Amino acid sequence: MHDEPTPLGCDPADLAWVESTVKQAGTSFAAGMRILPPMRRYGMYAIYAFCRVVDDIADGLAPLAERTQALEEWHKKIAHLYQDRLETPHEPLERVLLAAIPFFALQQADFDAIIDGMLMDTASPIVAPDEKTLDLYCDRVAAAVGRLSVRIFGECSDEGNKVAYHLGRALQLTNILRDLPEDAARGRLYMPSDLLDRFNVPHDPVKALTAPGLQEVTKIIAARAQDHFTTAFVTMKLCRPRTMLPARIMGASYETVLKNLRKRGWGPDVLRQRPESSTVGKVYALACSYLP
C-alpha cells in the first residue's frame, strides 16, 4: 500500500524500472519526455522501454530462432494486456503498460506493428528493399511509435496521426543514414534497390559503403527525410500547441542530426564519423520548427 498516489497508479518500483531504462539508454528523446507531466511522462517511459526491449531482442546475438520466438512471445504478452486486464502481469514493464493502455487509449495494432517491424529485421537481414518494403518498415518501427506517443501527449486527432506518419519516417530515415556502417556490419542495407541500381551501387552492404554512387543515393534519402520533417512541423500547427511540444523537441533534435549528416556527407573517408549536435543547434532547430 502507498500513502500517496503514484503516476498511473503503478508501484514506484515499476515506475523506477521504466525510467531507468530510458536513462540508461541515453536517448536524445529524453528531453522531450522530461517536460511532460508525471502521468504522461511515465506513459512515454513505458513506450520507450517497450521499444528498447524488443529492439534489443532483434539486434541481439541469440540464434535467429530464439530471437524470433522472443518477439512472438511479445505479441502474446501484448494481446494478454488487452484481453485480460484483471490478471496482474509478472514483469514491471508489462504492469506499467497495463495501466497506460486504457488510460491513454493506446491501440494494440501499434504495439503489434512495432514487433512486426523488429521481426522484419530478424527473419533475414533487410538488404536493398523495394520502396514499399522500406516504407512499411519505417511505418512499423517508427510511425507506430509516433501513433502511441501522440496519444500519450494528448493529441488523438487525425492531424496527430499525420504528425506520427511524417515524423516517424523522418526519424527512421535519419537513423538509416546515420547508421550505414553499423547496419552493414550486421549484413543490412536499407537503401532502396531502385536508387542503388540507378547509381550503380552494389546491393552488398559492405561494398556499397565505398561505391561512388552512394553519395547520390544518400542525398535523395536525406531530402526525403527533410521533406517529412518539414511536413511534420507544418502539421503540428494544426494540433494543440502544448500537446505537440514534446514532438517538436524530439523532431528538432533529430533534424539537427540530419543537417549535420548532410553537411558531413557520406564519402568513405567520413562515413564512420558521428556528427555531434550542439545544444545551441538543437534550440535553433526547435525555434525554426515554428516558422512557416
* pLDDT digit string, tens, across residues 253-290: 899 999 999 999 999 999 988 877 555 454 545 555 55
What pairs with residue 180 in β-bridges?
none
Query: How many C-beta atoms surround the C-beta of residue 103 within 10 A?
Result: 16
Asked if pLDDT for residue 292 goes beyond 70, the answer is: no
Residue 37: what residue type?
A: P
Asked if pLDDT for residue 22 goes beyond 80, the answer is: yes
Tell me which DSSP letter residue 265 carries: -
CB 68 within 8 A of CB 122: yes
Residues 6+ apart with CB under 8 A from 110: 144, 145, 147, 148
| Rounded distance between C-alpha atoms, residue 120 and residue 133, angstroms | 10
Query: How many C-beta atoms surround the C-beta of residue 123 within 10 A?
Result: 13
Q: Is residue 5 included in any domain, yes or no?
A: no
Last residue of one domain, picked from the residues 47, 78, 112: 112
Q: Are residues 159 and 259 in the same domain?
A: yes
C-alpha cell, 181: 556502417
Q: Are residues 128 and 153 in the same domain?
A: yes
Q: Is residue 81 included in any domain, yes or no?
A: yes
Q: Is residue 64 included in any domain, yes or no?
A: yes
Q: Are residues 168 and 103 in the same domain?
A: no
| Rounded distance between C-alpha atoms, residue 19 and residue 75, angstroms | 23
Last residue of one domain, picked from the residues 89, 112, 135: 112
Q: Is residue 26 included in any domain, yes or no?
A: yes
Domain housing 157: 124-274
Q: Is residue 155 included in any domain, yes or no?
A: yes
Q: 154-208 pLDDT, tens per residue?
A: 999 999 999 999 999 999 999 999 999 999 999 999 999 999 999 999 999 999 9
| Rounded distance between C-alpha atoms, residue 34 and residue 55, angstroms | 22
289: enclosing H helix or E strand: none
Hey, CA dihedral for 55, 56, 62, 68, is it positive or negative? negative
Asked if pLDDT for residue 91 goes beyond 60, the answer is: yes
- What would the mean pLDDT of 117-124 be, rounded to a whole number? 89
Q: Are residues 160 and 260 in the same domain?
A: yes
Query: How many C-beta atoms surround the C-beta of residue 52 within 10 A?
Result: 17
Residue 210: what residue type?
A: T
Q: Are residues 181 and 257 in the same domain?
A: yes
Q: Which of 21, 24, 31 is nearest to 279 (CA)?
A: 31
Q: Are residues 157 and 251 in the same domain?
A: yes
Predicted pLDDT of residue 135: 98
Q: Are residues 86 and 192 in the same domain?
A: no
pTM exceeding 0.95: no
For helices 64-83 and 92-104, angle between their N-to-C axes, nearest 10 degrees:
50
Domain count, the chain: 2
What pairs with residue 127 in β-bridges?
189
Distance of CA 41 to the CA centre of its chain: 17
Residue 228: what residue type?
A: H
Last residue of one domain, picked from the residues 78, 112, 146: 112
